């Protein structure tokens, strides 16, 4: 298993946030950030669940995980009791810890 997956599986946000996703899209339908950005929490959860190391690394390098507003609306509606917002918190932490995937946000 890759280091990224090992780290994810130890993160309490990830453990709390992902049981099993059935790819229904309810989280995206309820997500306020998805209205404003090219952003889809369903795809993020599905990518993490697939467990492909390269795909997860691409996710960690992308802007996508930074569009979440951490409002946790997704927690209230998921039929599988997942919380994509928590999964994303775990991804952000790993992204910032790894120099290969670290993001620098510039305020203009």
Query: Where does this chain bind ligand SF4 (CB under 6 A)?
Result: 21-27, 30-33, 41-42, 45, 68-74, 78-80, 82, 84-85
At residue 57, what are phi and psi to the nearest 5 degrees?
Answer: -65, -40
CB of 79 to ligand SF4, least distance (A): 6
With residues binned 3-state (H G I as helix, E B as strand, rest as coil), the percentages for the chain, rounded to 5, are 60, 0, 40
Residue nearest ligand SF4, CB atom distance: 85
Q: Considering beta carbons, is residue 3 or 50 the nearer one to ligand SF4?
A: 50
Q: Considering beta carbons, is residue 3 or 12 the nearer one to ligand SF4?
A: 12
CB of 99 to ligand SF4, least distance (A): 25
Contact 61, 95 (CB under 8 A): yes
Contact 21, 46 (CB under 8 A): yes
């Amino acid at each position: 298993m890759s280091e990224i997956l090992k780290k994810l599986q130890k993160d309490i946000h990830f453990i709390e946030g992902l049981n099993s996703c059935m790819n229904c899209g309810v989280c995206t339908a309820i997500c306020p950030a998805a209205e404003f950005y090219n952003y889809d929490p369903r795809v993020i959860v599905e990518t993490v669940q697939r467990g492909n190391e390269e795909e997860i690394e691409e996710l960690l390098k992308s802007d996508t995980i930074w569009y979440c507003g951490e409002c946790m609306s997704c927690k209230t509606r998921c039929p599988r009791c997942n919380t994509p917002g928590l999964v994303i918190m775990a991804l952000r932490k790993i992204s910032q810890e790894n120099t290969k995937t670290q993001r620098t946000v510039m305020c203009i």
